[in-house]
Amino acid sequence: MLELYNFSQSTCSQKVRICLAEKKLDWVDRRLVSKDRHHISPEYLKLNPNGVVPTLVHDGAPVIESSVIVQYLDDVFPDPRLTPGDPKTVAQMRAWVIFVEQVPTPAVRYPSFQHGGLMQKFQAMSRKEFEATIVRRPLKSRFYRRMGQMGFPQEDIDDALDDIRKTVCRMEIMLRGSNPWLLGEQYTIADICVAPLIDRMQDMGYSGLWEADLPHVTGWLRRMKARPAYTTTFYWGSRLSEQYPDIAHAHGEEIVRALQRSSGSPSVSTTISSAI
């Protein structure tokens, strides 16, 4: 039996849900609610000591870390295969998965918390309640403390958008030529692991980070969204804008600053091999 402990709106959870849907696997949706702190309850911490979602439980055995989970699923349920056959391309895929974990995954959290309605929850708390909540996070206390109850300094948001811009520039290079997917003809874990992050940025009104000058990224996102597994994953309520309709209000100035910063960076002109 497969059980997935997840949040509907968590990008890491969405990554695993896409993979499960692509493989047409039956799974039990153990949906946790962040505001009720299910993910830091003593029972859940026994499954995932990091106090984060997702966690897959396969026949009673927990598997944690979304990138590990999708690779585990591909090992155990190889139909359809989401890993390339050629070891050199597998190495490229793994390098991309690490890049996605290190660069855009943390970056997307900054605007998500700042503009994604999540701040409202923290602003409504007393200082004492806020401290009591964040101190219980095994890995995230520093992130929450930096955010505080009033949000991140603009400099943090600008740095995060710079990292997203670097990501889409790398994707543009990977997609050049006639590649429909990031590693070529085959749709792989490389596509799955970054898709919920780009979807989130679009949902929050940041598609200006790629739409004007990175047409391959725009085409790739369209192809991703056309996949049935994608529609299953993003059921109603799993996008922030569905809960917080005001989220996508103009971020024009932030986007302009990110594009200006990126125009001086070498990312678009580098070759694919140095890009990942």
Ligand X SMILES: N[C@@H](CCC(=O)N[C@@H](CS)C(=O)NCC(=O)O)C(=O)O
> Could you tell me how many residues make up the chain?
276
- Residue 167 touches ligand X, criterion: CB under 6 A: no
Per CB under 6 A, the segment of 63-71, 81-89, 170-178, 217-225 that binds ligand X is: 63-71
- Please select the residue that binds ligand X; options are 4, 19, 20, 52, rule is CB under 6 A: 52
Q: Which stretch binds ligand X (CB under 6 A): 4-12, 17-25, 92-100, 201-209?
A: 4-12
Sheet (strand 28-31) strand order: 28-31, 2-6, 55-58, 61-64
List, in sequence order, every beta strand (DSSP E) within the chain.
2-6, 28-31, 55-58, 61-64
Cis peptide before 111 (omega within 30 of 0): no
Q: What are the Cα distances from residue 12, in Å, to 54, 104, 140, 172, 215?
A: 7, 12, 15, 22, 25
Q: Facing residues of 181 across strands? A: 184
Query: Which two three-digit tokens encode residue 65?
Result: 């870390």
Residue in 11, 71, 238, 262 binding ligand X, rule: CB under 6 A: 11
Q: Quick check: 53 binds ligand X (CB under 6 A)?
A: yes
Closer to ligand X by Cβ: residue 10 or 262? 10
Q: What is the DSSP string of 159-172?
A: HHHHHHHHHHHHHH
Nearer to ligand X, 52 or 168 (CB): 52
Residues 192 and 70: beta-carbon distance below 8 Å = yes
Q: How far is the CB of 257 from ligand X (least distance, A)?
A: 26
DSSP assignment letter at 212:
T
Query: What single DSSP character describes residue 36?
Result: G
Rounded to an integer, what distance in angstroms lies between the CA atom of residue 131 and that of residue 141? 9
Q: Which residue has the tokens 């700042």?
A: 114
- 140 interacts with ligand X by CB under 6 A: yes
Q: How many CA atoms lie less than 13 Å away from 193 in the CB half-sphere?
A: 29
Q: Does 20 bind ligand X (CB under 6 A)?
A: no
- Candidates 3-11, 84-92, 146-154, 249-257; binding stretch for ligand X (CB under 6 A): 3-11
Q: Is 10 in the site for ligand X (CB under 6 A)?
A: yes
- Residue 227 as a binder of ligand X (CB under 6 A): the answer is no
User: Shortest approach of ligand X to residue 137 CB, angstroms?
Assistant: 5
Give min distance, CB of 142 to ligand X, in A. Answer: 12
Least distance to ligand X, CB of residue 113, Å: 9
Nearer Cβ to ligand X (6/262)? 6
Based on CB atoms, which residue is closest to ligand X, 10 or 83? 10
Binding residues for ligand X, rule: CB under 6 A, are: 7, 10-12, 39, 52-54, 65-67, 137, 140
